[in-house]
Amino acid sequence: MSRPRLSRRTPLRATLAALVLLAAGLASATGLATPAVTAGAAPPVVAGPDLGQRVVVFDPSMSVASIRQRADQIWQQQVDAEMSSERWSLLFLPGTYGTAAEPLQIKVGYYTEVAGLGASPSDTVINGKVEVYNRCLSDGPTQPYCVALNNFWRSLSNLTIDVNGTGQDGCRASANFWATSQASSLRRVDIRGGNLSLMDYCTAGPQFASGGYLADSRAGTVINGSQQQWLTRNSEVVEWSNGVWNQVFAGTIGAPSEASFPTNPYTTLDRTPLSREKPFLHVGDDGRWQVRVPDARTESRGTSWAGGTTAGRDLPLSSFHVASPGQPAQVLRQALDRGQNLLLTPGVYDVDRSLVVRRDHTVVLGLGQATLTAVGGATPVVVRPGATDVVIAGVTVDAGTGLSQNLMHLQGQPGRSGDRRTPAAVPTTTLNDVYFRVGGPHIGKADVSLRIDADDVLIDHAWVWRADHGIEGFTAGAVGDTDRWNTNIGRVGLIVTGDRVHATGLFVEHYQQHNTIWTGEDGHVVLYQNELPYDPPSQADWTRPDGTLGWTGYKVGDDVLRHQLFGGGVYVFNRNDPSITTASGFEVPVRAGVRLHHVLTVNLDAGSIEHVVNDTGDRVDSTRSGQPSYVVDYPAP
């Protein structure tokens, strides 16, 4: 969370009748309180899977009013449930929902996933909106205080939205609003008939937002608004309206030029060096449920589905252990040991012993922001050395009250010979929409949140967060609160020792020493966002043993020969002691093979950073709050 100053298509070829019947069978099997389908329907051709009571499946025969009523019930429950344990997945079978005269309008709250169940975004069409608005908070500096800064943990994917202003409401008629911050991805979304707005400019208040992530999607005009940072990857846009501090584009058709940086804070890569889209649940032409695992792409541009079905493999649900939150971790461990994949239905899972991935091609897919919580100091997820083509997606990993050494550990080969190893043909492990949390809903303790010792890993959108606020029982989050610093322990967010690790969309925040430490060779990062911790009690608590003032947001090891970062920001807001200073936001070895392109620091009203990278770049402090200090290239060409 940051505190800035504002600066149609043909449906799936399976018959609609069979899909309607399938939905009816699923709703019955899961006991969901969903509206009934058309009377007189025959039994389903293929029985739907039991995905639990927090998965709601809609089909095109349902009335707009009934779908809206059910979705609104969930939104009313989740709109302010920032630290709750409820999780939801709203899934739409292929077909068309809503009309211009009676549009379907859905609002999305915390821990809610909305997704289409077609093989392509064009298979599921919503005439209307799927939106997130500002939250109006009662404890803000002004009243009303309406912002998107804490609009975390939700997602929208794999469908088409036809905004088509007819029947829409007032100020919001021309755009689908997605006013979110971290951990709220947009994937495989096609926006038609209107704009995509990443800021809610219709709700009273300052409208700040701190996102964000858009991938494998198509839109017309995108209104960035007040988004401080944003990554758009492998997408297509007609126009991008503006930028705040750090707007990054990779492999995106229609992306703005970076030629005027930093006047316009755009960083643009024509192609994405390495990408792999997130696996997704869909219903095949035969009416059977399966998971598509997209192939990895290199030097790619545009969406994975523009020319047809996304390339990849389909896994039947029979190859997955469909887990429910009440199951002991041992059951999930045994399923992995048997060679099954894991489908985590929505909820919170207590993990007292590591879930260990040993086999090639394993997929762990979470629905509805499924959350794994460490118990007794466990490391919830471990990927063993040698396992390759592993995908972990849609999962949040929480620290527990006992100190964990790691929350996720991708292990490397003992005695490996570094960059002399042959690069893998596909990523050894891909992380899509994987989030880490230390504190927030409860006290959390983890020395390192994510440790990557394996080579050839791809991180595709991760938020690694030591909480700057929450309900852990501390004094209310006022200036002067030091309880969190001494109780929510998170030394380092991310450590990378593996070679050829790529990251597209990496957010790491509030850790108590270096937030990210990268010592592997040939690291490649496209968009990095960091906030230094808000809560060091004093400068003495934020000084290294050698006397250096503070730790960095991003540290590349002194011996690293080759590393690249495109579009990085480190922000400071030392609310407990505004006199605290940090020597530099980024710290890297000075050599030709280590390149930082478009990096910045910015002050958010308290504390200061002396330099952007090493001893280069101007100081930022409260006299220039919200005004970034930029370095275009380091070292300078």
- Residues taking part in catalysis: 531
Q: What are phi and psi of 210, to 5 degrees?
A: -140, 70
Decide if 34 contacts 27 (C-beta within 8 A).
yes
Decide if 504 contacts 272 (C-beta within 8 A).
yes
| DSSP letter string, 62-77 | S-HHHHHHHHHHHHHH
Q: What are phi and psi of 449, to 5 degrees?
A: -80, -50
Q: What are phi and psi of 170, to 5 degrees?
A: 45, -125
Decide if 127 contacts 96 (C-beta within 8 A).
yes
Q: How far is CA 220 from the centre of its chain?
A: 22
Angle at alpha carbon of residue 398, lines to 392 and 404, rounded to 5°: 100
**Does the CA dihedral 106-107-111-116 come out positive or negative?**
positive
Sorted by sequence, the CB contacts under 8 Å of residue 84 that are 6+ apart come out as: 78, 110, 111, 441
Decide if 436 contacts 463 (C-beta within 8 A).
yes
Sorted by sequence, the CB contacts under 8 Å of residue 181 that are 6+ apart come out as: 1, 148, 149, 150, 151, 152, 209, 210, 211, 212
Q: What is the dihedral of CA 412, 416, 420, 423, to 10 degrees?
A: -30
How far apart, in whole angstroms, are the C-alpha atoms of residue 124 and residue 160?
Answer: 6
Tokens 């998170």 found at = 490
Q: How far is CA 382 from the centre of its chain?
A: 20
Strands of 414-484 (E only): list them.
429-438, 445-452, 457-466
Sorted by sequence, the CB contacts under 8 Å of residue 104 that are 6+ apart come out as: 64, 67, 68, 97, 98, 126, 127, 128, 129
Q: What are phi and psi of 251, to 5 degrees?
A: 60, 35
Report which secondary-structure segment, H or E, holds 363.
strand 363-374
Nearest CA to 115 out of 181, 37, 192, 58 is that of: 58
At residue 18, the 3 state secondary structure works out as helix
Per-position b or e across 322-346, b if 16+ CB within 10 A of its CB: bbbbebebeebeebbeeebbbbbbb
Sorted by sequence, the CB contacts under 8 Å of residue 162 that are 6+ apart come out as: 8, 125, 126, 127, 128, 192, 193
How far apart, in whole angstroms, are the C-alpha atoms of residue 183 and residue 206?
Answer: 21
At residue 317, the 3 state secondary structure works out as helix
Tokens 């211009």 found at = 100
Residue 4 tokens, joined: 């800035």
Distances (CA, A) of 237 to 124, 232, 288: 20, 10, 33
Residue 540 tokens, joined: 């003495």
The residue type at 130: V
Report which secondary-structure segment, H or E, holds 594.
strand 594-606
